[in-house]
Structure 1
Amino acid sequence: MAIILDGKKVAQKIKKELKKEVEEYIKKGLRNPTLAVVLVGNDPASQVYVRNKRKSCEEVGIKSMYIHLEEETPEEELLRIIDKLNKDEEVDGILVQLPLPRHINTSNIIMAINPEKDVDGFHPDNVGKLATGLKDAIIPCTPLGIWLLLKEYNIETYKKDVVIVGASNIVGKPMSLLFLKNEEATVTVCHRNTKNLEKHTKNAEILVVAVGKPNLITSDMVKENVVVVDVGINKLEDGRLVGDTDFENIKHKAFAITPVPGGVGPMTVASLLINTISVYRQKFGFSKHPLTDI
């Protein structure tokens, strides 16, 4: 039976450490770290994500500034709000919840956020820094969370054959850069339309799947003792939440595997807190947060 990579447990451990850290800053007379969260519209999933992020902020002592805008809000209005947040010295991090309504150009919004406050790590400045190996890059939350989860369970990444299924800017691409950075891993990036996907996944010693298709990866598509990181979260007609892999069958074959839910999701939120505190630390003359020093 595979080791279950319990993201919920590890995230709670990280949050306890962050809470103590924030308490120390307050004792020194500093203000609380502050994260501005902007939600446009009433998408139910986005509302849940935002609620969880704000709750986690409260748990560790990060002040959450919540801005909820109507679905019809013009792009120009959102840009005006971002500009105001960029200039606000009391705001350390800015997060605009995605996806945005169709009439708003997501790229324009990402570009408008000050890269130094871009705690999602989506701005091209941060992406470029990550790609070129610069230490001051803000790492996207899901890849950072996956990395910290693997390290917590002492999963060796050095010189491993890594296959990533899903080439998004949010997970797949930055995840590939993290594995390449300092690790000398051999990384293959696939997607749901890759020909003979099984040929690639069977070679993986570490398999990361982030596509959004239930049970895309079955047990016959992986080798023995593979480490599987399932980023997908899909709701079935019967209400069950499942990932992109066949967890029940693969867990008997894998060395380690993340559950859905309770695997990558909590680590993503924990990484958002880490990034926010890291930005805050640097504003007050400290080094970036050690958990982001990859």
Structure 2
Amino acid sequence: MTSDTTARPMIGTDLAADMVAQAAVRAKKLQDETGVQPCLATVLVGDDPASATYVRMKQNRSKKAGIGSVSVVLPAETTTDELVAELTRLSNDPTVHGILLQHPVPEQIDERAAFEAIAPAKDVDGVTMHSFAAMAFGEPGFRSCTPGGILRLLQAYDVPLSGAHAVVIGRSPILGKPAGMLLLASNATVTYTHSRTQDLPALVRQADIVVAAVGKPNFVRGEWLKPGAVVIDAGYNEGNVGDVHAEEVARVASLLTPVPGGVGPMTIALLLEQTVDAAEAQTANR
């Protein structure tokens, strides 16, 4: 991988728009042939403004793709049991094909217990242990949407994955860990790093591909990178700032995802694509 003076941006917007357009064609075909409109249920606990904005954005994109949406908003003081009961109800509702629990949830809720209440067949956000196992073992199943979107972006930009050394910064169960698993399934050599990692810059400097998913603005610096590295900024912090210092990194990397307009659109596009996948599968199995 060779270095340019300025990294070429890996734009997710156009690719995501194509994915949504293709999902819309499939959704219309399913509805025309069976009378079934794919339906995504979004569940929001509390009134966090950023989360509410994300949910509205996903609902608007769903509408553009011909996907119906059901919105469930629960009070901030909702208990784990109450949330699990609601997710179980949606899992048993034959008119709902996909379920998205907006995260993070309030601190009193056991988030893992909530995720596991989502039926695997409707886990279109790829957050259950079933979905993670499918990603880890290379079996059919839903991908975590941000990692899955990252893989599609890397493929679209013809980034060689087989034999490449990928360093993933962050180990969250819905971003860092599945991103590493999907890269491993593509025959990359994967190093996971996290808050306890010693001499992080030295490890990052070995990477052909860097996935920054740490949740800290401007965390990854240009001097950490080897020239020509491909950098995926999966972070989104206040003020449209990612997890990498974009100005510094752009001077060293060959490819860099912008924030916004890089990974974010791919996440939503994959969510909608997988909702149509789920609707087709459930309709075929009825």
Superposition TM-score, scaled by structure 1 size:
0.92
- Aligned-partner Cα distance in 1 for 2:98–2:26: 17
Q: Confirm whether residue 91 of structure 1 aligns to residue 96 of structure 2.
A: yes
SS in 2 for 1:85: helix
Name structure 1 gaps, 5 residues minimum. Answer: 287-294
Q: Is the 8 A contact 2:30 2:280 kept in 1?
A: no
Q: Confirm whether residue 4 of structure 1 aligns to residue 9 of structure 2.
A: yes
SS in 2 for 1:72: coil
| Residue 269 of structure 1, CA deviation | 0.7
| Residue 140 of structure 1, CA deviation | 0.4
Partner of 1:146: 150
Match of 1:217 among 215, 220, 241: 220
SS in 2 for 1:177: helix
- Aligned-partner Cα distance in 1 for 2:172–2:153: 20
- Give % identity: 38
- Aligned-partner Cα distance in 2 for 1:83–1:249: 47
Q: Is the 8 A contact 2:26 2:276 kept in 1?
A: no
Match of 1:24 among 29, 34, 40: 29
- Aligned-partner Cα distance in 2 for 1:252–1:103: 44
Cα deviation, 1:219-238, whole Å, max 9, x if unaligned, reads 11001111000011111xxx
Q: Confirm whether residue 233 of structure 1 aligns to residue 236 of structure 2.
A: yes
SS in 2 for 1:241: coil
Name structure 2 gaps, 5 residues minimum. Answer: 1-5
Q: Using CA pairs below 8 Å that are at least 6 residues apart, which structure has the higher relative contact order?
A: 2
Cα deviation, 1:116-171, whole Å, max 9, x if unaligned, reads 1111211112212222221x221100000001111111111111011110111011
- Aligned-partner Cα distance in 2 for 1:153–1:6: 9
Cα RMSD, aligned residues only: 1.3
Structure 1 residues 209 and 81: CA distance shift in structure 2, 3 A: same
Aligned residue pair count:
280
Superposition TM-score, scaled by structure 2 size:
0.94
Partner of 1:242: 241
- Aligned-partner Cα distance in 2 for 1:220–1:228: 13
Q: Confirm whether residue 61 of structure 1 aligns to residue 34 of structure 2.
A: no
Match of 1:207 among 206, 210, 234: 210
